[in-house]
């Protein structure tokens, strides 16, 4: 196989693949639409074939051939082991402690993993009205762990979120515990530039790995708070040819499906 660097990859591809690697075959994962869905399905199609993917609409053990456009995409129900009512999904599966990983995206994020997907600016007079939380607030508190993925920007990674949609570590430290939340909360943040983990004591996200070719300065320039870096800073392994092919083929099939033709060919085939 040729080296992945010879093929080339984008920052978003690196982010998705790095996120997929964090998942295991025995995970029960509550999947968000968008980048989390891409990461989870790459994991399912590569190293974690037995992962159980659950979407908010009630589809359990789904194995979509294309990336769903929403939680109501028929592809999810058609490929699921079973579909349950939404109240059962939340009360029995999520609040019952059966979800090992809640995988979320964010429009706005602070250094303690608090997520805003509601409004940018003042709530009464917002600059931007966002889609809202949906089931994310419950996912953030009831999943055993939460993984977050997002592209870095100063607009998105801010010192303080404008609205608490999904609770991360609050003000840091033992804030979750003081509120009676007994799950771990955000334990991993994967961006297009780096991998972050919360400090064991303060719970502030700290960079533990830089993606290939990324510098500390680039990470700081695209973040709205003063970034902390681990003393032993790693470099994220570049995507393999298999990982890239799997992700790109998934996008090709998704694009073909959206146009009514799901025969999408491999993007690496001549």
Catalytic residue among 56, 75, 138, 204: 56
Is the separation of the CB atoms in 228 and 161 below 8 Å?
no
Closest CA to 68 of 41, 99, 100, 103: 41
The conformational region for residue 222 under phi > 0 = left, psi -120 to 50 = alpha, else beta, is alpha
**Angle, helix 11-21 to helix 241-258, in steps of 10 degrees:** 110
The verdict on whether 159 is a catalytic residue reads no
Query: What H or E segment, with its residue span, contains residue 210?
Result: strand 205-210
Closest CA to 33 of 70, 62, 66, 58: 70
Closest CA to 54 of 106, 20, 102, 91: 102
Which positions are catalytic?
Answer: 56
């Amino acid at each position: 196989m040729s080296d992945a660097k010879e093929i080339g990859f984008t920052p978003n591809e690196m982010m998705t693949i790095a996120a997929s690697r964090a998942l295991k075959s025995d995970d029960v994962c509550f999947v968000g639409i968008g980048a989390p869905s891409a990461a989870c399905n790459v994991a399912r199609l590569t190293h974690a074939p037995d992962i159980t993917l659950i979407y908010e609409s009630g589809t359990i053990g789904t194995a979509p051939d294309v990336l769903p456009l929403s939680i109501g995409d028929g592809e999810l129900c058609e490929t699921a082991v079973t579909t349950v009512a939404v109240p059962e999904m939340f009360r029995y599966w999520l609040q019952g402690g059966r979800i090992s990983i809640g995988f979320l995206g964010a429009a706005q994020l602070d250094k303690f993993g608090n997520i805003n997907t509601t409004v940018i600016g003042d709530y009464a007079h917002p600059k931007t009205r966002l889609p809202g939380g949906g089931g994310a607030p419950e996912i953030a508190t009831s999943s055993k762990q939460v993984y977050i993925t997002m592209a870095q920007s100063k607009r998105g990674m801010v010192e303080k979120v404008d609205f608490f949609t999904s609770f991360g570590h609050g003000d840091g430290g033992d804030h979750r515990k003081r509120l009676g939340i007994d799950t771990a909360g955000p334990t991993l943040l994967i961006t297009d530039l780096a991998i972050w983990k919360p400090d064991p004591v303060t719970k502030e996200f700290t960079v533990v790995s830089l993606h290939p070719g990324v510098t500390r300065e680039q990470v700081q320039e695209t973040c709205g708070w003063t970034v902390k870096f681990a003393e032993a800073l790693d470099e994220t392994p570049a995507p393999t040819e298999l990982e890239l092919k799997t992700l790109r083929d998934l996008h090709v099939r998704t694009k073909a499906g959206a146009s009514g033709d799901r025969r999408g060919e491999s993007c690496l085939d001549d």
